[in-house]
C-alpha cells in the first residue's frame, strides 16, 4: 500500500518543495495536537493526582 502511494507521488511530478511543505505541515500538526490535547490533559491528570494524594494524607 505504501509503495503504491509513493509511486503515485513520485510519478505525479510533485516537486521537492511541495513535498517539503507537506512534511512541515504534518510536523506542525503533530506539535499543535500536543499543545492543544496532550499538555492540558497531562496537567489535569497531574493536578488530580496531587489533590488526591493530599486528601489521602489527611
Q: Where are the domains of the chain?
A: 16-56
Euclidean distance between CA atoms 29 and 32, whole angstroms: 5
Contacts of 19 (CB under 8 A, 6+ apart): 9
Residue 33, pLDDT score: 92
Euclidean distance between CA atoms 37 and 58, whole angstroms: 32
> Band of the pLDDT at 2, cuts 50, 70, 90?
low
pTM over cut 0.85 = no
Residue 56, pLDDT score: 75
Is pLDDT of 43 > 90? Answer: yes
Amino acid at each position: 500500500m505504501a509503495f503504491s502511494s509513493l509511486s503515485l507521488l513520485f510519478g505525479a511530478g510533485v516537486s521537492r518543495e511541495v513535498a517539503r511543505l507537506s512534511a512541515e505541515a504534518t510536523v506542525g500538526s503533530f506539535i499543535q495536537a500536543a499543545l492543544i490535547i496532550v499538555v492540558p490533559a497531562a496537567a489535569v491528570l497531574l493536578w488530580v493526582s496531587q489533590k488526591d494524594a493530599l486528601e489521602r494524607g489527611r
